[in-house]
């Protein structure tokens, strides 16, 4: 049985903020990640972000919805993220909010095929409604 995500006061954790993201457990059961606009994301940032995701998930694999443009994500950070995401999720929906998103997603898709043998579903959407509808297929 998966234990509840509790802070030191015994209250349920529904949101965590790091230097580059705000991650929230949505009422439907998926993770909603909002990137801080204009940040350069480093390997250290991604390591911190993965720890935040693990903290909220508490052993469950939850679908992830990502919003927000970033200035850049280092190659090491992208590789670390792709290697670790299958431990957290089976599906990632990304809202296209900048021209950089398709480039990032293409890289992630290629790395996912090579490293994870397509264990992770990645898809870009033009609207939140379409992204959420698709994510619902991956809720446990």
Domain housing 32 = 15-138
What local confidence, expressed as pLDDT, does residue 87 receive?
87
Whether residue 5 lies inside any domain: the answer is: no
Distance CA 90, CA 118 (A): 10
What local confidence, expressed as pLDDT, does residue 3 receive?
34
Q: Contact, 45 vs 12, CB < 8 A? A: no
Q: Contact, 40 vs 72, CB < 8 A? A: yes
Cα of first residue to Cα of last residue in the chain, in angstroms, is: 14
Could you give the number of structural domains in the chain?
1
Whether residue 68 lies inside any domain: the answer is: yes
Whether residue 2 lies inside any domain: the answer is: no
pLDDT tens for the chain, 140 residues: list them. Answer: 223 455 555 556 689 999 999 999 999 999 999 988 888 899 999 999 999 999 998 889 999 999 877 778 888 998 898 888 888 888 989 888 766 566 666 666 666 565 556 667 888 888 999 999 999 999 97
Whether residue 106 lies inside any domain: the answer is: yes
Q: What stretch of H or E contains 103? A: helix 100-116
Distance CA 91, CA 80 (A): 17
**CATH code for the domain of 112:** 3.30.750.24
Candidates 70, 67, 63, 77; CA nearest to 121 is: 63
Report pTM: 0.80
Whether residue 8 lies inside any domain: the answer is: no
Whether residue 42 lies inside any domain: the answer is: yes
Whether residue 101 lies inside any domain: the answer is: yes
Q: Exposed, middle or buried, 41 (CB in 10 Å: 0-12/13-18/19+)?
A: buried
Distance CA 82, CA 33 (A): 16
Whether residue 107 lies inside any domain: the answer is: yes
């Amino acid at each position: 049985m998966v234990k509840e995500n509790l802070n030191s006061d015994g209250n349920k954790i529904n949101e965590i903020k790091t230097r580059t993201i705000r991650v929230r457990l949505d009422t439907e059961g998926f993770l909603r990640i909002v990137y801080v606009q204009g940040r350069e994301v480093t390997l250290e940032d991604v390591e911190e972000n993965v720890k935040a995701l693990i903290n909220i998930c508490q052993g469950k694999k939850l679908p992830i919805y990502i919003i927000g443009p970033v200035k850049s994500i280092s190659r090491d950070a992208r590789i670390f993220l792709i290697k670790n995401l299958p431990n957290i999720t089976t599906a990632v929906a990304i809202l296209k909010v900048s021209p950089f998103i398709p480039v990032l997603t293409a890289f992630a898709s290629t790395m996912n095929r090579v490293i994870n043998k397509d264990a992770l579903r990645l898809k870009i959407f033009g609207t939140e409604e379409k992204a959420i509808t698709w994510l619902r297929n991956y809720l446990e």
